[in-house]
Amino acid sequence: MKRQVKFVRKNSPFYAKHWEGLSDDEWAKFPLIDKSIMMDNLADLLTTRLDMNQARELADRAEQNRDFSPKIGPYSIGYSSGTSGSRGMHFLSEKEQASWAGFMLSRGLDGSIFARYKIGLILRANSNTFESVGSSRIKFNFYDLMKPLDELHD
C-alpha cells in the first residue's frame, strides 16, 4: 500500500495536494472524495497527463459513430454508463486492458484452454478493453444496446 501511495502522491497533482499534512503511513486517514469532486478534478487526479479536451472529443465521437477503437497514445478512453446519475470517464492503458482480459478469461472459461469459445457482451458501449479478449480460439461479440433490438443479433 505504501508503494501505491508514493506513486499516486508523486504522479497525481490532485492527490499530492489533497493528502497534504498526512504521511504515506497515514493512508487510512486520507480524506475521501466523491464522484463530483473526481470529475471536477479529473485531469489532475490522473497519474498520467492527458489532454482532457482531446479525451472528451474522442469519447464524444465514439458515442456518436459507435466506433470505440480510437485511442490517445496507449489509452482507451470512454464514458461510463452514468447509472449513478453522473457520467464518468474511463482511461485504460494497454497493460490494464491485458490484465482485464486475463481476469475475464480466467473467470469465464471453464474448459480446456485449447477449446473454442464464444463470448458475447451486451452493453451500452464497446471498448478496446473488451475487444482484447478475442483470439483465434475465442470469438468475441459486442452487442450494442443503443441499437434497436432486431439489429442486435447477427
pLDDT at 72: 92
As given in the structure block, the three cell numbers for residue 84 are: 449513478
User: Is 139 within 8 Å of 116 (Cβ atoms)?
Assistant: yes
- Cα Rg, the chain, nearest whole Å: 19
Strand segments (E) across 4-133: 71-72, 75-79, 89-92, 117-123
- Give me the average pLDDT of each 10-residue run along the chain (154 residues): 95 97 96 92 93 93 87 88 77 83 72 76 69 71 76 65
pLDDT at 128: 64
Task: Give the closest residue to 107 by CA, choosing from 91, 122, 96, 119.
Answer: 119
- Entry pTM: 0.67
pLDDT at 134: 66
Spatial distance between the Cα atoms of 42 and 8, rounded to a whole number of angstroms: 14
Spatial distance between the Cα atoms of 97 and 125, rounded to a whole number of angstroms: 16
pLDDT at 131: 65
pLDDT at 82: 73
Burial class for 99, CB neighbours closer than 10 Å (0-12, 13-18, 19+):
middle
